[in-house]
Every structure is written in structure tokens, then in C-alpha cells.
């Protein structure tokens, strides 16, 4: 039940996008649109926050361009999640 929300779209696509390296929020948004996942930016922020709260991704800084608000930069923090079937312990690598 921990894994099911992580494997649902658009979170699965966000994880795949970040597997390529550090990406800004705008880059993630554009890549999702290219994959046909159109959503309001507020929905993207919701999913990024959920993945961050789960310890799957992390914000690593800001990109400041054009004098507007800084853009958050994200990276994948965990590449693998496993469950010990005997103890029920969930581990992240």
C-alpha cells in the first residue's frame, strides 16, 4: 500500500524524469506534458510534495533566471524500495 501511490501516474513519470538527473519544476512540467499528462501546475506541486514527503525525491536548490521567482530543482533520492516479507520492514536504497 506504500508502493501503490508511487506507481500511479503522474508520480511514476516524475520518478522516471528525475532518474535522468536534476530537473527544475518547469522541466518536469514540460516533460509530463510531452507524455500527454496535462495538469495544472498546482497538481504537479501536490505530487512533488507527496514524493518528497515519502522520501523518494528531494529539493536540491533553486535556479534563478529572468528576475522572477526562483525555480526549485529536484533530484531522485531513492532508486529502489523493498519490503522484507518476514518482518514487514520497508527499506529504501
What is the predicted pLDDT for the residue at 62? 95
Provide φ and ψ at 60, rounded to 5°: -115, 0
pLDDT of residue 7: 77
CA 70 to chain centre: 18
Q: How far apart are the first and last CA of the chain?
A: 18
Interval 68-84: pLDDT, tens: 889 999 999 998 888 88
Count of beta carbons in the 10 Å neighbourhood of residue 74: 23
Which domain, by its residues, includes 62?
3-92
Kindly report, residue by residue over 24-71, the tens digit of the pLDDT: 999 999 999 999 999 999 999 999 999 999 889 999 999 998 778 899
Q: How many domains does the chain have?
A: 1
Label residue 2 by pLDDT band (50, 70, 90): low
Write the CATH number for 67: 1.10.10.10
Amino acid at each position: 500500500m506504500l508502493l501503490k501511490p508511487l506507481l500511479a501516474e503522474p508520480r511514476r513519470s516524475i520518478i522516471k524524469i528525475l532518474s535522468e538527473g536534476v530537473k527544475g519544476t518547469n522541466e518536469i512540467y514540460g516533460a509530463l506534458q510531452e507524455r500527454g499528462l496535462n495538469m495544472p501546475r498546482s497538481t504537479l506541486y501536490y505530487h512533488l510534495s507527496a514524493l518528497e514527503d515519502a522520501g523518494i525525491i528531494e529539493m536540491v536548490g533553486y535556479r534563478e533566471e529572468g528576475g522572477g521567482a526562483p525555480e526549485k530543482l529536484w533530484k531522485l533520492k531513492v532508486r529502489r524500495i523493498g519490503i522484507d516479507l518476514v518482518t514487514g520492514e520497508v527499506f529504501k536504497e
